[in-house]
Amino acid sequence: MSDSVRPVVEAIWSSLGLPHPVDRIGAEFTFEANGADVTVSLAPSGQDALLRVLLGHLATDPATARDQAVSILRQGLGLMAVNNASLSLAGETTLESFAALDRGGASAPVPIYAEAVVPLGARDVALAPQALTDLLQWHALVAGALAPIDRGGARNAIAETGVGDEMMIFRP
C-alpha cells in the first residue's frame, strides 16, 4: 500500500526525458500536458493511481447534451482498439446525470473526464506514460465537441519546466 503517486509521476517524467520533479508528491499531483490539466491521485486501495483529465462539460440543454454525448461515444469507437482510458461523468452517476438533463436541463454543466488506472507495483508504473497518452488522445478527440473548460485550475511541473505547449508525446 502506497501513500504517494510519486512512482507514476516519475515514470511519466522519465519517459519525457525530464528530470524528476523536486516538489513533494503526496496522494495527489496535478500538472499540465498538451493543454490538458492532468490529475494523478491515489486510489482508495492505495495500490493504484488514477490519472484523470477534464475533457469539458456537456451543455445544460438536454438535446444539445444528448448530441454531444452521442458524438463523443461515436468518435470514441475508433479508439477502443488502441486506447485503454475510460470516460466518466463526475459527481452524480451517469443515469442520474442524464435523468437531470431529461427533466429540462442540468442545474450546472456536467463535466466529462477521461480516466486511466495505473497499478503502483514496481513494474506496473511503466504503464503510466501510455496511460497519459490515452488520456491526451481523448482530450484531442473531443476538444471541439464540449463546452469550454475553466482554465483557472492548478498547474504544476511540466508547465513549469519550460517545455510548455510545444511538448508532444509520440508512440512508436
Residue with cell string 483557472: 152
Domain interval for residue 122: 6-166
Q: Between these two residues, 134 and 81, which has the higher pLDDT value?
A: 134
d(CA 5, CA 25): 7
Q: Quick one: pLDDT at residue 155?
A: 43
Q: Quick one: pLDDT at residue 147?
A: 60
Cell of 121: 507495483
Which pLDDT tens digit goes with each residue over 92-137? 555 665 666 566 655 677 788 999 999 998 889 899 999 999 999 9
Q: Could you tell me the sign of the dihedral formed by the alpha carbons of 92, 80, 138, 65, in that order?
A: negative
Q: What is the 3-state secondary structure (H, E, C) of 22-67?
A: CCCCCCEEEEEECCEEEEEEECCCCCEEEEEEEEEEECCCHHHHHH
User: Does residue 172 belong to any structural domain of this protein?
Assistant: no
Q: Which residues of 122-146 are buried (b: 16+ CB within 10 A; e: fewer)?
A: eebbebbbbbbbbbbbbbebbeebb
CB 101 within 8 A of CB 58: yes
Percent of the chain with pLDDT over 70: 73
Q: What is the CATH number of the domain that holds 94?
A: 3.30.1460.10
User: Does residue 86 belong to any structural domain of this protein?
Assistant: yes
User: Does residue 158 belong to any structural domain of this protein?
Assistant: yes
Q: What predicted TM-score, i.e. pTM, was given to this entire model?
A: 0.76
User: Does residue 29 belong to any structural domain of this protein?
Assistant: yes
User: Does residue 24 belong to any structural domain of this protein?
Assistant: yes
User: Does residue 72 belong to any structural domain of this protein?
Assistant: yes
User: Does residue 1 belong to any structural domain of this protein?
Assistant: no
Beta-carbon contacts of 146 under 8 Å, excluding residues fewer than 6 positions away, are: 55, 56, 57, 58, 68, 72, 112
Q: How many domains does the chain have?
A: 1
pLDDT over 70 (residue 10): yes
